[in-house]
Structure 1
Amino acid sequence: MSTNTNKIDPEKFLAMLLQYSRDSHYNHINISVRLNRNPAYTRQVMNIKLKRISKKFGNDERLYVSMTAEEGQKFLSLVNRLKEDMFANFAEKITWHTELLERTEQEFGYHQIRERDQYNNLEFELLL
């Protein structure tokens, strides 16, 4: 069994992502997991892009982070758990409570863009 120290802490990562998005006025967080078919190696890559659609602050789109899906596995698991809680409660938005955020509570929407396909590709958005 290997111990991979590159895996991220999901709560801290989500808190930093939400805090940065809110402070910089981004209102869409796009998360995509895609298979990288490089002939030298095959692995899944997780990209997180921030998108702002705003008349006041202007439109912008930028890559926040890129990592292997294995490194972001716990983060994806946390988002999946929050999404399942939202659907179980028939709620429109996810409400996440944590002491890691300045405001201790964040509400955001979930929008599935692409379901998992034969290569296990996945894409969804968190709407702030």
Structure 2
Amino acid sequence: MTRFLLLYLVLAAAAAMAAAAAVAGADPVPVAANAEPIRRDPFARPHAVRAAAQAAAAAAAAPAPAPEPVLQLRAIMFNAQRSLVNINGRILAGGDVLDEAMGNYRIAAIHERSVVLRRDGVQRILSLEPEGRQ
């Protein structure tokens, strides 16, 4: 509402000035004839703000690292010849590789109460013991 009122007042003042100039006999000079051309976009953001916005957009577009999968050691069948483990419902033997959904870990060793997993030089140990009792 206030914008329309302000616009109305500006237009009324311009019309009054044009009428006063016509009555005085002087030709009003068009504003565009004396104005310099606009050299830059007045609505453009400064370069630093634009660069920060582009960096933020690039960071948002970059894929976030995948969270470490939750692996639950459910059971171990320990045998001197061939041991098996149940991880997230899958039965696996020593040397098997967990699928991509489970982090592509390789079963490096199976012990009586724990399993050693390796991936890219990183070792992860799963234990049958509850958290804190290991």
Q: TM-score, normalised by structure 1?
A: 0.22
Q: Which has the higher contact order (CA 8 A, sep 6+)?
A: 1
> Greater helix percent: which structure?
2
Larger Rg: 2
- Compare the two structures and name the one with the higher strand fraction: 1
